[in-house]
Amino acid sequence: MKKGRILTGDRPTGKLHLGHYVGSLENRVRLQDEYDPFIIIADVQALTTNFEKPEALKRDVHQVAEDYLAVGLDPEKATIFVQSLVPEIAELTIFYSMFITVNVLRHNPTIKTEAKQYGYQDMTYGFLGYPVSQAADITFCKANLVPVGADQVPHIEFARKIVRRFNELYKPVLVEPEALVGEVGRLVGTDGNAKMSKSLGNCIYLCDEPKEVEQKICAAITDPARMRRDDLGHPDVCTVYAYHKVFNPGFVEELRPQCETAGIGCVDCKKRLTAEINALLEPMHERRAKYVAKPKLVDEILIAGTERARAAARETMAQVREAMQIDYF
Ligand code: SF4
């Protein structure tokens, strides 16, 4: 007996990296036995900011699906689907749009922050309305849990408000989702930036080969005060130490005094980290190889997952239409 249905996913904007793994993928793999996860590849949401360059989308949808399978998401347990291929989500978005005011969206703090980040003087209708579309993503399959970081809780609160409004206006057919706030870790970039991000070029990708991982860690920023081998180190300002804490936790207690007394050099410290990260990625490479050898298999998994998602969507939409009394015939 599963504990409930989870909705989670990503915007397909390129290869997934260790930041994604630590932030959510690791959790999803763990949760897939206990829960019924619906994992959305949110291509429509990707278009809210990339509508002028849709050509990358096909490749990125495939890439994200391949990354999901490589980390160990099991298509027998997790419903992996493509957002734009479930038209009921767009239909539900339209219905929700009837009772959400423009002012509520304009004052949404996340929208305001992101518009600033993208440098938007004016916002497209699609961008302004993406929280409504997100509420449809969550509710079309009646997900009762959405794993998020603390900063994303307002999104879930907004979806809950939409559900309550709909259920009051028409009939109680929708499920109010709960935020499953976990320890969503944020991983620093190899350049020491607070966030690992493709746009900053500071990522270790899940598909990186051992040699690439070695080169990236070799170039990673360490304690700037440790210029020579016998300089004393300050692990708290070192990117490599931050990675050891996440990927090699059993070593950090020993590493700290060694670094502070120059008992270990940065080269050796980086070698140990490289070995740990490559050991983590190795089974992912093995799983990935199976899908690279049969690229049609990824398509088949997406088609089957999307069909499962559509079946859930059709069921919800029949109830929604009946509740709204637009089930004419
Ligand atoms: S020894 Fe390791 S933790 Fe210390 S500064 Fe060098 S790379 Fe960083």
**CATH number assigned to the domain comprising residue 260:** 1.10.240.10
**Region 217-246 average pLDDT:** 96
Same domain, 68 and 178: yes
Q: Classify strands 5-10 and 36-41 as parallel, antiparallel or unpaired.
A: parallel
- CB of 37 closer than 6 A to ligand 1? no
228 alpha carbon – ligand 1 mean position (Å): 11
Closest residue by Cα to residue 79 from 32, 42, 34, 46: 32
Same domain, 214 and 80: no
**Is pLDDT at 125 greater than 70 in this prediction?**
yes
Same domain, 66 and 15: yes
269 alpha carbon – ligand 1 mean position (Å): 6
pLDDT tier at 182, thresholds 50, 70, 90: low
| Per-residue model confidence (pLDDT) at position 276 | 98
Same domain, 181 and 86: yes
**Is pLDDT at 181 greater than 80 in this prediction?**
no
Look at residue 271 and tell me if it is in a domain: yes
Same domain, 103 and 124: yes
- CB of 83 closer than 6 A to ligand 1? no
Nearest 5°: phi and psi at 123?
Answer: -115, 145
**% of the chain surpassing 90 pLDDT:** 82
- Domain that includes residue 90, residue range: 5-187+295-323
Same domain, 81 and 164: yes
Closest residue by Cα to residue 296 from 65, 42, 54: 65
pTM: 0.93
We report the CATH number of the domain holding residue 61 as 3.40.50.620
Look at residue 197 and tell me if it is in a domain: no
Look at residue 198 and tell me if it is in a domain: no
Same domain, 214 and 318: no
Nearest-CA residue for ligand 1 atom 6 is 266
Nearest-CA residue for ligand 1 atom 7 is 266
CA–CA dist 193, 127 (Å, integer)? 27
pLDDT tier at 153, thresholds 50, 70, 90: confident
Mutate to test the pocket of ligand 1, among 230, 240, 252 (most ligand atoms within 8 A of CB): 240
- CB of 235 closer than 6 A to ligand 1? yes
* Contact (CB, 8 A) for 51 and 74: no
Same domain, 218 and 181: no
H helical segments located in 170-265: 210-218, 239-247, 249-260
Closest residue by Cα to residue 220 from 199, 259, 255, 191: 191
Same domain, 266 and 303: no
**Is pLDDT at 184 greater than 60 in this prediction?**
no
Same domain, 219 and 301: no
Look at residue 329 and tell me if it is in a domain: no
46 alpha carbon – ligand 1 mean position (Å): 38
- CB of 23 closer than 6 A to ligand 1? no
| Per-residue model confidence (pLDDT) at position 50 | 82
CA 55 to chain centre: 21
Look at residue 199 and tell me if it is in a domain: no
| Per-residue model confidence (pLDDT) at position 2 | 78
Same domain, 76 and 147: yes
Whole-number average pLDDT of the chain: 94
Structural domain count, the chain: 2
pLDDT tier at 49, thresholds 50, 70, 90: confident
233 alpha carbon – ligand 1 mean position (Å): 6
CA–CA dist 106, 113 (Å, integer)? 11
| Per-residue model confidence (pLDDT) at position 24 | 85
- CB of 160 closer than 6 A to ligand 1? no
**Is pLDDT at 55 greater than 80 in this prediction?**
yes
